[in-house]
Amino acid sequence: MMLSADVSSMLDRILDAATDNLRFAKILVQMGLDPNNVTWDAIFSRLLEIFLHNITLANMFALVGAIFFVATLLTQTMVPLRVANMIGCVFFAIFGALTGAVTTFLLYLLMVPINAYRLRQMLALVKKARAATQGDMSMEWLKPFMTQRKYRKGDILMEKGEAASEMLLTVTGKFRVVEINVDVPPGRLMGELGFLTPDNRRTATIECIEDGHVLTITYEGLLEIYFQNPQFGYYFLVLTSQRLLENLARAEAIIAQNRIAVQTIAN
């Protein structure tokens, strides 16, 4: 009881000090309260009256939209964030329509298909990431996030040991890994291992041997996709593991050939 009385007394003193402030007093007047005779009960009653007076269908839609907007700030992954943002935009668009705010209505209405398109891309990415466990190594899902670049015969796409900042996907033309004299066919990744090395250095030299074009994506773009959809991390791991296993098998084949050649010479 003593503690409750002390808290009540402290709140009253705070209120008395606040009412002496000219700016706060003006706020009380605007709320319809008398600065010289104000209590906490009066403030609460007046706020409740204002709240009830402003409960309209349009404001209810705006309130729900605001709740979903706050949800987007608390969401850590991209797919539920897009869903919450779409729902919030729908409610804000309805609010704009009910209040006759054309700008608000058009703004949030336009954001719905934009979020829907990005959501579709994210869902496609997640689907491909899950399909990686079943051996689906198609790179079609990544193309919307990449930009096109053309090369002519004799161009060097990357050199071993140089700093790496992007990954490439072959589309047309012919490219060759100089160090091992292996051609890279269309639909194959190049430069993904540089993304995994500690200092982001190229592990091989790639030369264009026939005019063609590739699609590129920066390592920052790859990180953005990963943080938006952690499933991509597993998908990318499968891709790079396949490349490492292919390189290992190629090295073993070369070693076996050399061993046979040495034995033939020895005999």
Tell me, yes or no, whether 265 lies in a domain.
Answer: no
In a domain, 217, yes or no: yes
Taking residues 195-202, what's their average pLDDT?
A: 82
Instruction: Calculate mean pLDDT across residues 134-144.
Output: 64
Q: Of 114, 132, 150, which one is at a domain's C-terminal end?
A: 132
Which structural domain, as residue segments, surrounds residue 252? 140-258
pLDDT of 258: 78
26: pLDDT strictly greater than 70: no
Say whether both 66 and 169 belong to one domain: no
Give 80's pLDDT tier (boundaries 50, 70, 90).
Answer: confident
Q: Are residues 215 and 168 in the same domain?
A: yes
* CATH number, domain containing residue 158: 2.60.120.10
Residue 266 located in a structural domain: no
85: in domain = yes
Name residue, tokens 């298909």.
Answer: 113
63 and 41 in a single domain? The answer is no
pLDDT average, residue stretch 86-93: 93
pTM above 0.85, yes or no: no
Same domain? 45 vs 14: yes
pLDDT by residue (tens digit) across 206-216? 999 999 999 99
**Pair (189, 201) in one structural domain:** yes
Give the number of domains in the chain.
Answer: 3
- Reported as a single tens digit per residue, the pLDDT across 228-253 is 666 667 777 777 777 777 777 777 87
Q: 95 and 44 share a domain?
A: no
The percentage of residues in the chain with a pLDDT greater than 90, rounded to a whole number, is: 24
* pLDDT of 177 higher than 70: yes
For residues 153 and 253, membership in a common domain is answered with yes
- Vertex 233 angle, CA 229 and 234, to 5°: 115
Where among 132, 148, 167 does a domain terminate? 132
Q: At what angle do helices 57-74 and 78-99 cross, to 10 degrees?
A: 160
